[in-house]
Chains A and B, each alone.
Chain A
């Protein structure tokens, strides 16, 4: 009789091998005691309804800017700020619209705020730097403008837009 056959022939009363022990739950480190200095680590959060509504309005403003309705885009985006004042896109498009209306200082101010909220994903740093450079150039601050374009090129050496702007600055200097 083979071992296999013997196993099949084993009487019912024979003990079955014991099931493997349950996997113990992972041990958790006890939470540190609450103190006045604890600042919670930010967890990734789904967008709030306000943020979602703000994003839609940003899309609409982008379309308005593309169609040349800059003043209207500004009006819409200012209203959007009250929904979400931490979205860098709102500030970036405000900067873009103000630039188109030749409000260069206002555009710079909005860009600075956009930069401070930027996570590097929603607003392209290169676009931000180029727009910053454009504002500075129009305000006559050429050396600062050059720096902005050079920073853009440092990120993307092949960026034609930044190169063209640098040439403009060189001509104006």
Chain B
């Protein structure tokens, strides 16, 4: 080789060496940079994973429950309604005697129901699960027996029903449980099917990936996944369901991070609480506990092998394998899982044969509904002072309310049917489209406690969320009149001090009331006047002139004071027109005020929320029944008696004509301009207020007895169907006195009319009638002989 070629070779060698060094350096740099980048990326992923695991994992909406229900011997009980209620509660009906909590059997022929009650966490009360036997005869409970102890029970409380939840965008129904609360049967089955090498890999399982790749290549499509349980959890926590390589890589890396940071038990527990298991209307079913309830009405600990298999099978495709949609697919999938359980020796051959042979009965789920949406909105406002939106939509609170689901459904039906009926009968009430449709509202309360039992704030919540029970203030019209009469019974005449009584006479004729320099002339309906009438008759017929005359005599301030005292909260102008209801009030406060009368003069606070507890069952808030005696029971009784007359004989007699026969008191209400129609009515146990009108104050042209009363009657007939007829309790301390109705004083033998009238003890007039004959002892003797039993009845 010559010198030149030697030099060329060594130059090439040097160049190659330099390139190699540079390449090496670049590679090293690349590795270091890549490693740093990867480390930075993994750090970011790690923070995300840690934040999720250690922060709040799920947004659990507050759950809202109805009131619990007491049943007792002697109570009317429709077994069909009981069946419906138990079904709503998620109980399973069986043919055989119930052996597990959550099962029940009803035998209509013998009138017997056997219910294995479940446990329920209720603040301050334990709903313990036990086997209850309800024996009925002719629709009445004869006996309640606790079967395991052979013990007769005086009453039993049935657990409250889930009404709805406060959710933000989506409703994820989920109960978070610990790993040890899920039985081994369920845990092992899920692992066997979803990730049998869970305890052997570190987040990603190359064996599973390779196996899936082979199978998929053979089939020519993606039929098997190689994702581990950890990867599935990462996907559900953070990622969308998009199937891209980038997403799969991210999922794998996050799984590795999770396995590095957390134990297998923590990962598995999160998985069991996270998995999506189907849909129930707007409600998504998440987690094994919730899935177990939704499909089987059982705790996971009660699941049979077949049920555990079905639940596990749902994970891959909850809607496709749902027994509610396709029993055949569900059965096939279940059996596939059962075969795997047998193969992995999770169950014995015998258990396998039994489970495979079980037929899946077609069932309908108990639909999650947003029952009582107006009531739910009302609750939200009530809670707003103490709870943020985040608290209500994400912290898993449980809110126990006063609502009665059956009464709510009945109220909704009555209002809807009633308004449709009005539109059918009266053409002028019909509207095209939904703008300014005829509207209505109904609120039902329990007078004894102030609890709201039903609230329907409008005709259709989807169309209008405006709550006409609580937010709308309208003129009550004649509904206001009872306050005048009660003030008259309590305060009497400003001029003479003489107390009014139901039999006293008053003039129903046109007159002018001059008040603070202004003149006002109350007019009767259709300009018809009845002359001299009794106070009771004036109220029964709802006579404007007579009422205004009484109010003038009693004093407008006293009328106002009485209305406030009974429970009206809206500002009331001290004007004569107030007596005929020329003011604006909400149906809810009308209910409260009349509730005071129904409750014997005891005013209660309106109560919707009873308890709020956190997700661990710790009590956050308790709202008590509050009472205040504001009227003597005697005056309340007299008021109720007069208002019973309204229904029996007066403007509210349509109630009786429509078939409601139980003792009840009430008042119709129509505004002068016929824009509002009201009816408020009550038994001693239940009160309902109905309002009908147009939102935009269009003339209705119908009286309360025509528009609102039929809806009230329809509702009350249903609502009180199974309850005994109870009458208003006459309190002690009412005295009967013979009075001259013309003057209101004690009658003498010379008075042309005497009636037996009633007064609270100590307030009966002592003075004899001065109009017809001056008092003397002889006359007094004669008066006593006219009513020989007076001495016995005079005092109670």
CB within 8 Å of B: which residues of A? Answer: 35-42, 48-50, 52-53, 56-57, 71-72, 74-76, 78-79, 81-83, 85-86, 91, 94, 98, 103, 106, 109-110, 112-113, 116-117, 119
Interface size class of B (residues with CB under 8 A): 35 or more
Q: Taking the complex as formed, is B632 at the interface, i.e. its CB lies under 8 A from any CB of chain A?
A: yes
Of A53, A109, A112, which contacts B155 at CB under 8 A?
A: A53
Q: Taking the complex as formed, is B503 at the interface, i.e. its CB lies under 8 A from any CB of chain A?
A: yes
Which residues of A have CB within 8 Å of B540?
36
- Establish whether residues B74 and A49, one from each chain, have CB atoms under 8 Å apart when the complex forms: yes
A41-B793, A94-B625, A109-B628 known; 18 new pairs, CB 8 Å cut-off, are: A37-B757, A50-B74, A50-B726, A52-B74, A53-B73, A57-B155, A72-B124, A75-B125, A79-B157, A81-B449, A82-B685, A85-B447, A85-B449, A86-B600, A106-B624, A112-B629, A113-B602, A117-B633
Of A39, A56, A57, A71, which contacts B730 at CB under 8 A?
A: A39
Which residues of A have CB within 8 Å of B449?
78, 81-82, 85
Give the complex CA separation of A106 and B73 in angstroms. Answer: 32
Q: Which chain A residue lies CB-closest to B402?
A: A82
- Establish whether residues A85 and B448, one from each chain, have CB atoms under 8 Å apart when the complex forms: yes
Q: How far is the CB of B633 from chain A (nearest CB, A)?
A: 5
Which residues of A have CB within 8 Å of B154?
52-53, 56-57
Q: Which chain A residue lies CB-closest to B755?
A: A37
Give the complex CA separation of A29 and B249 in angstroms. Answer: 101
Known: A56-B155, A109-B629. A78 touches B624 (CB 8 A): yes
Give the complex CA separation of A87 and B625 in angstroms. Answer: 16
Give the complex CA separation of A126 and B378 in angstroms. Answer: 43
Known: A78-B449, A106-B626. A48 touches B70 (CB 8 A): no
Which residues of B have CB within 8 Å of A91?
627
Closest 8 CB pairs of A and B: A49-B74, A85-B448, A56-B154, A53-B72, A75-B124, A53-B155, A72-B124, A78-B625
Of B75, B649, B684, which contacts A36 at CB under 8 A?
A: B649
Give the complex CA separation of A119 and B320 in angstroms. Answer: 67
Of B73, B75, B123, B633, which contacts A75 at CB under 8 A?
A: B123
Q: Which chain B residue lies CB-closest to A32?
A: B756
- Establish whether residues A48 and B629, one from each chain, have CB atoms under 8 Å apart when the complex forms: no
- Establish whether residues A40 and B645, one from each chain, have CB atoms under 8 Å apart when the complex forms: no
Q: How far is the CB of B672 from chain A (nearest CB, A)?
A: 27
Known: A36-B645, A72-B124, A81-B449. A86 touches B70 (CB 8 A): no
- Establish whether residues A71 and B124, one from each chain, have CB atoms under 8 Å apart when the complex forms: yes
Q: How far is the CB of A43 from chain B (nearest CB, A)?
A: 10
Q: Taking the complex as formed, is B536 at the interface, i.e. its CB lies under 8 A from any CB of chain A?
A: yes
Q: How far is the CB of A139 from chain B (nearest CB, A)?
A: 15
- Establish whether residues A48 and B649, one from each chain, have CB atoms under 8 Å apart when the complex forms: no
Give the complex CA separation of A75 and B449 in angstroms. Answer: 12
Q: How far is the CB of A173 from chain B (nearest CB, A)?
A: 28
Q: Taking the complex as formed, is B537 at the interface, i.e. its CB lies under 8 A from any CB of chain A?
A: yes
Q: Taking the complex as formed, is B206 at the interface, i.e. its CB lies under 8 A from any CB of chain A?
A: no
Give the complex CA separation of A41 and B734 in angstroms. Answer: 10
By CB atoms of chain B within 10 A, which of A38, A71, A74, A79 has the most? A79
- Establish whether residues A85 and B599, one from each chain, have CB atoms under 8 Å apart when the complex forms: yes
Which residues of B have CB within 8 Å of A110?
627
CB within 8 Å of A: which residues of B? Answer: 68, 70, 72-75, 123-125, 154-155, 157, 446-449, 451, 502-503, 534, 536-537, 540, 599-602, 622, 624-629, 632-633, 641, 645, 649, 684-685, 724, 726, 729-732, 734, 736, 755-758, 793
Question: 16 A-B pairs, CB-CB below 8 angstroms?
Answer: A39-B734, A39-B736, A50-B726, A53-B154, A75-B123, A76-B125, A82-B70, A82-B446, A82-B449, A82-B451, A85-B600, A94-B625, A109-B627, A113-B602, A116-B731, A119-B732
Give the complex CA separation of A113 and B631 in angstroms. Answer: 10
Which residues of A have CB within 8 Å of B684?
85
Which residues of B have CB within 8 Å of A113?
602, 627, 629
Known: A37-B757, A49-B75. A74 touches B624 (CB 8 A): yes
Known: A37-B757, A52-B154. A83 touches B451 (CB 8 A): no
Known: A36-B536, A57-B155, A74-B624. A82 touches B649 (CB 8 A): no
- Establish whether residues B626 and A71, one from each chain, have CB atoms under 8 Å apart when the complex forms: no
Q: Which chain A residue lies CB-closest to B789?
A: A29
Q: Which chain A residue lies CB-closest to B732?
A: A119
Which residues of B have CB within 8 Å of A78?
449, 624-625
Which residues of A have CB within 8 Å of B534?
36-37
Q: Which chain A residue lies CB-closest to B503?
A: A37
Give the complex CA separation of A55 and B640 in angstroms. Answer: 26
Which residues of B have CB within 8 Å of A106?
624, 626
Known: A57-B155, A76-B125, A116-B633. A83 touches B70 (CB 8 A): yes
Q: Which chain B residue lies CB-closest to A57?
A: B155
Known: A81-B448, A85-B448. A49 touches B73 (CB 8 A): yes
Q: How far is the CB of B400 from chain A (nearest CB, A)?
A: 10
Q: Which chain A residue lies CB-closest to B154?
A: A56
Which residues of B have CB within 8 Å of A109?
626-629
Of A49, A98, A116, A119, which contacts B72 at CB under 8 A?
A: A49
Give the complex CA separation of A113 and B449 in angstroms. Answer: 13
Q: Which chain A residue lies CB-closest to B453?
A: A82
Of B68, B503, B729, B756, which contacts A79 at CB under 8 A?
A: B68
- Establish whether residues B726 and A48, one from each chain, have CB atoms under 8 Å apart when the complex forms: yes
Q: Which chain A residue lies CB-closest to B71?
A: A53
Which residues of A have CB within 8 Å of B734?
39
Q: How far is the CB of A18 from chain B (nearest CB, A)?
A: 37
